[in-house]
Amino acid sequence: MTNQTQGYHIPENQHGTRLDRFLIGTVEGVSRTYLQKLIRSGEVTVNDKIAKQPSYQLQHGDRVSLTLPAPRPLDTLQAENISLDILHEDSYLIVLNKPAGMLVHPANSVNVGTLVNALLAHCRTDLSGIGGVERPGIVHRLDKDTSGILVVAKTDVVHRELSVQFERHSITRQYVAVICGTPTKTVGTINAQIARSRRDRRRMTTVEIGGRHAVTHYEVLETYPKFALVQLTLETGRLHQIRVHLQHIGHPVVGDTIYGGEQRALNDADTPQLKRAFTQLKRQALHARLLGFVHPVTDENLTFSATIPKDIQQVVDALQIF
C-alpha cells in the first residue's frame, strides 16, 4: 500500500474551526489523537505550507491537505501467545487488566511482548484497524509500568464511539497510587497544562502557556509518616498526566524513576520492611483500578474494577506497620 493524500477546501461555515476538529469531523475512521500526531509530524499542510499546530484556526477558502501514511502489513507484527487477564469480552470489545511491565503497543525498537502482540494471538481477525496496524484495537493506553484496566475495540464503529466518550471525558477512569508525602488537603484538583519537556524528550512537564489542558482530581485514602495512599480520577487523559501532576504538587508517585519518586521514597524509608518493599517494587506504584463507560452497541453502563496488584499491596502493607 502507498500513502494516501486527501485535499479539502474550507467552506464558510468552518471559518475559525480548529484544524484538528475539522479533520476529525471530516476524515472517517481516524482518531483525534492520531490526526494530531500526523499534524505534528508534518503530514498536514494548509495552503501548501506545513501546519505546525492542531489548534490552528482555519480560514474560509483555506486548502488543507492530509497525507495518511500507509500502515505496515499486519504480518510484520508477531502474534504471541501471552496470557491475558480478561475481565469482559463480547463481539464488540474486550476489557482487560494489563500487568505492569507490558507495553500497550510496539514502540521504537520493541516489537514483541506488547499487548498488541498478545491481542493478535487472542483475536487476530477481530480488532479495530483505526490508528494503523501497529495499534489494532487500541482505544487508549497505560504507561508500560502502570498496571490496570484497558478497553480494546474489536470493530471500527466501536473504536470511534469509545474514542468520542474519551474525548468528551464521559468515561470514568479511577486510579490508586502510593505517593511521597501527604497533600495538605485531603481532597483536591490539580489543573495544570502539560507539554513535553524540552530538556528531556522522555519526560512531560507542567507549563503555564502552550501546553495541553489537563485536570486530575485526587482524594487521600490513607496517610502514613512521609507517605500517602491516594485515589485519582482523570478528567482528561494526557501522557504521564497523573505522574506529572503529582510531581507538580510535590508528591511524586513512589517508585517513579522519571519524576523523582524512586529515590525520594528510598530516602524516606525508615524501616527495613519498607525499604525492601520499595526495592522489590521496580516500577511506579500506580494502578488503574476502575473503568466505567457506556457500551457503544448495547447502551449498557459498564463498570469494571481490578484489585491492587501484589507488588503495590506489599508497599501498602509495609506502610501500615511503619
Q: Which residue has the cell 474550507?
A: 10
- Nearest 5°: the CA angle 275, 278, 283 is 165
Q: Do residues 158 and 92 make contact, with C-beta atoms less than 8 angstroms apart?
A: yes
Rama region for 255: left / alpha / beta (φ>0; ψ in -120 to 50; rest): left
Q: How far apart are CA 251 and CA 139, in angstroms?
A: 29
Q: How far apart are CA 280 and CA 301, in angstroms?
A: 38
Length of the chain: 322
Active site residues: 143
- Which element (helix H / strand E) includes 217? strand 215-224
DSSP symbol at 13: G
Find how far residue 223's CA is from the centre of its chain: 27
C-alpha cell at 273: 520492611
Candidates 300, 275, 305; CA nearest to 289 is 305
